[in-house]
Structure 1
Amino acid sequence: MGGVGTIAAYGLEFGGKAEVTAVVRSDYDHLTQKGFDIESCDYGSVKAFKPSHVEKSIEAAVKNHGPFEFAIFSMKNIPDVQPVEPLIDECYRKGTAIVLLQNGLGIEKPVLKEFPEAIVISGVSMISSTLYHGAVSHVGPDSVAFGVCDNGKLPLDEQTAVCKRFIDIYSTGKNVVKFDENVKYTRWRKLIYNATINSTCALTDADIGRLELFGGIDSIVRPAMKEIRAIAKADGVDLPESIMEDMIRSDDGEWYAPSMLVDIRKGNYCEYKVIVGNALDVAKEKGVDAPVLTVLYNLLHVVQMRTMEQKEKFTLPAKRPLPKDNFKIEYK
């Protein structure tokens, strides 16, 4: 239950069609004792929100409240640190639909590889919502597209019916929810924002308003957006040129800090692999040059490694090793 997950949980409870069990770790005490305060452009001022049930682990959630019709994954998508598949394995039962309300491109592929007969729903949310110290600031309307990641094992009509049932449950009349006919297009479209604005804000420690005033939109973001459009086109997705300006203007009026910048400021890991790395994998496969995105990716990789060291995922020797030493980092 970060910025996105909290609004999702609140919306599900608000609609009166769902009973939500949230698995929360670091914020468990705050959520259970005080609840989260929400200032939302969709729902107004909400004090001390708690979902129906809160547990510290998936195991406890399943034992005390399962099995579940839908398992929604809204945590950061960081496969280099915490792959989502082992977490799914803890709660997946036949009949449980997996909802990936997460950033990134091609994120359904490893899930369907591990759970080939599961119904997997892609959720792409265009929302400006952040969580700081138990308070959620939700300044951009919750607009989300849910679509089927066809597993090729079950009839598509059956998978679609489950997805549309979830859409009915998630729709509150205050959010904008639609069925996604083309999951691939939608995920490439969001990458126009996430791989460029999100990445650059994270690396410069500047919100999108300051990034524009300081010149970063024209010098970095627009060239990177052109690369995303070129890669997407090579992958069969033709994004209109107008989408670049739409994304640049999407947070107008707010000194908005995108999710990766919030992660960096909190000292957390960021989603650079699924957002930028997966796009570059497609670029390599299709023979598309992407020099700006490559630099952004490599800089974010260094930042991620710095965060790993700070979180003691590995320990470096007191004396700096040199290339001739063939030193290899050993992860804990």
Structure 2
Amino acid sequence: MGDTINILVVGAGAVGAFYASRLQHHLFPPHSPNKTSISLVCRSNYSAVLNSGFTLKTRPFGDYTFRPDGVFRTCDDAANSGVRWDYILVATKSLVQLSADGTNPRPASMAAADLIAPAVTPAHTAVVLIQNGVGIETPYRQRFPANPILSAVTVIAAAQTEPGVVVHHRWMRIAIGPYTDSVDGSESHDSTGRDTLSATRTSSLVDLFKLGGVTDAEQHTSRNIQIVRWHKLGLNAAFNPSSVLAGSRPTYELLVDADAREHCEAVMAEVFHAAKIIFKLDAFPPQSHPESAFPTLSPSATREYPKLATIHEIIESSLRNKTFKSSMVLDWESQREMEVEVILGNAVKIAKRFAVQGMGRVQGMYALLKLAEKARVENAGDARKEKSSL
């Protein structure tokens, strides 16, 4: 990388805008050697951001305006700008695109990988996936075999209340680690130095976030970041689909109902049981003790497992926010596609690959939400046909 670190953020919603704003170099301490140039690819909020930037209303940093160094409509425009991008942060939802009749699913991550391809410099640009779910990295590895792929897991409560206005409510935890070539982070087929570059880029990006005030930014190994990803999947799989199936209820209402709370706890237990088997652990969340044989470390190196909340701690923390609705609920209410595949479908498929038994609740919600989403697509198509015939 040169004197200026060029970062392109694809997905200028609340999460993408918030983290992009914290990477601007003027937020760094005086005399910091780091200088960044932050640009965004915007869709529906393009005009607002181009004209006025983002207005951010936050608890930890107060209210401030974030003006990106570049604003683009497409990745093609970003590629044609002449900038060599050091990082591309993908902060879009990870979806499965359906045909008009709700069939023929195609992972949207494949489309997203193709979308960002014009801006990716082979063997240089680090692609950072700030997205929910598991198994999301594979299409990017297939599309960019020589590039660093960084997997990022965030816990943040933020919303874009109108185009160009982001309200940050709670949390700004982001864990980042390199992706090798497997679900559990234990395999690497690299002989080009790509994984070494991935580890370096991970460390540099975490340092940039910390300089921007994101004190909860954490660097992880390729194995540990997948453990963190499966841990967050427990929350997403328990709360997001259940809230939709319960009639778009806030998470708090699930947890104060005894039967719904028992269901959510059971879903988390299913996901954590699967993770225990996939990662060959004695317990999940794993106990914090030294572990060796990480693919990105020397054989003698040791690392502790990340500190992760228990099911009881997750429940107690979630009870503090009485009005929070998950992104899946908001998508359902707005008749947008939901992250059903990456949160439920991929978990079921990966668990089967590892011969995991006892995923009945996750499998059941996956089947029901798939049918509900298919029915909604079909009903919307019927409504359009009826309207056109009037």
TM-score > 0.5 by shorter chain: yes
Q: Output one character per residue of 1:110-168: Cα deviation in whole Å (capped at 9) or x when no partner.
A: 21122211100011111112223233232222111110112532333332112111112
How far is the alpha carbon of 1:274 from its aligned partner?
A: 0.8
Quote the Cα distance in structure 2 between the aligned partners of 1:9 and 1:175: 15
- Percent of aligned positions that are identical: 23
Task: Decide whether the 8 Å contact of 1:140 with 1:251 is kept in 2.
Answer: no
Counterpart residue number, 2:5: none
How far is the alpha carbon of 1:281 from its aligned partner?
A: 0.6
**Do residues 201 (structure 1) and 240 (structure 2) align?**
no
Quick one: which amino acid aligns to residue 205 of structure 2? F
Matches within 5 A, 1:106-125: 106-125=135-154
Provide the alpha-carbon RMSD of the alignment. Answer: 2.4
Quote the Cα distance in structure 1 between the aligned partners of 2:53 and 2:254: 33
Query: Alignment partner of 1:250: what SS?
Result: helix
Matches within 5 A, 1:1-332: 1-13=12-24, 15-16=27-28, 17-47=35-65, 49-64=66-81, 66-80=83-97, 82-83=108-109, 84-94=112-122, 95-134=124-163, 135-150=165-180, 152-153=189-190, 154-155=192-193, 156-171=195-210, 172-181=212-221, 182-204=224-246, 205-215=248-258, 217-236=260-279, 237=281, 238-240=283-285, 243-254=310-321, 255-285=323-353, 286-309=355-378
Task: Decide whether the 8 Å contact of 2:160 with 2:167 is kept in 1.
Answer: yes
**Gap runs ≥5 in structure 1:** 319-332
Task: Decide whether the 8 Å contact of 2:152 with 2:175 is kept in 1.
Answer: yes
Task: Decide whether the 8 Å contact of 1:77 with 1:271 is kept in 2.
Answer: yes
Task: Decide whether the 8 Å contact of 1:193 with 1:248 is kept in 2.
Answer: no
Quote the Cα distance in structure 1 between the aligned partners of 2:384 and 2:348: 29
How far is the alpha carbon of 1:227 from its aligned partner?
A: 0.8
Task: Decide whether the 8 Å contact of 1:192 with 1:247 is kept in 2.
Answer: no
Q: Output one character per residue of 1:253-304: Cα deviation in whole Å (capped at 9) or x when no partner.
A: 3221122122222322111101111110122221412111112112221343
Q: Output one character per residue of 1:208-262: Cα deviation in whole Å (capped at 9) or x when no partner.
A: 1222234464242111111111211221254139621222233443221122122
Q: Which moved more, 1:121-130 or 1:260-269?
A: 260-269
How far is the alpha carbon of 1:76 from its aligned partner?
A: 0.2
Counterpart residue number, 2:8: none
Q: Which moved more, 1:92-101 or 1:108-117?
A: 108-117
Quote the Cα distance in structure 2 between the aligned partners of 1:198 and 1:316: 29
Quote the Cα distance in structure 2 between the aligned partners of 1:37 and 1:207: 27
Q: Which moved more, 1:67-76 or 1:294-303?
A: 294-303
Task: Decide whether the 8 Å contact of 2:114 with 2:143 is kept in 1.
Answer: no
The two structures have a TM-score, normalised by structure 2, of 0.74
Q: Which moved more, 1:115-124 or 1:283-292?
A: 283-292
Query: Alignment partner of 2:57: what SS?
Result: strand
Query: Structure 1 residues 161 and 39 mapped into 2: Cα distance closer, same or farther (>3 Å)?
Result: same
Quote the Cα distance in structure 2 between the aligned partners of 1:62 and 1:123: 23
Task: Decide whether the 8 Å contact of 2:126 with 2:198 is kept in 1.
Answer: no
Query: Structure 1 residues 119 and 30 mapped into 2: Cα distance closer, same or farther (>3 Å)?
Result: same
Q: Output one character per residue of 1:87-115: Cα deviation in whole Å (capped at 9) or x when no partner.
A: 23222112111001111112112211222
Task: Decide whether the 8 Å contact of 1:122 with 1:149 is kept in 2.
Answer: yes
Quote the Cα distance in structure 2 between the aligned partners of 1:133 and 1:307: 26
**Gap runs ≥5 in structure 2:** 1-11, 29-34, 99-107, 182-188, 287-308
Task: Decide whether the 8 Å contact of 1:230 with 1:288 is kept in 2.
Answer: no
Counterpart residue number, 2:7: none
Q: Output one character per residue of 1:24-75: Cα deviation in whole Å (capped at 9) or x when no partner.
A: 111212322344332223322235x332211111111121252200011000
Quote the Cα distance in structure 1 between the aligned partners of 2:167 and 2:149: 29
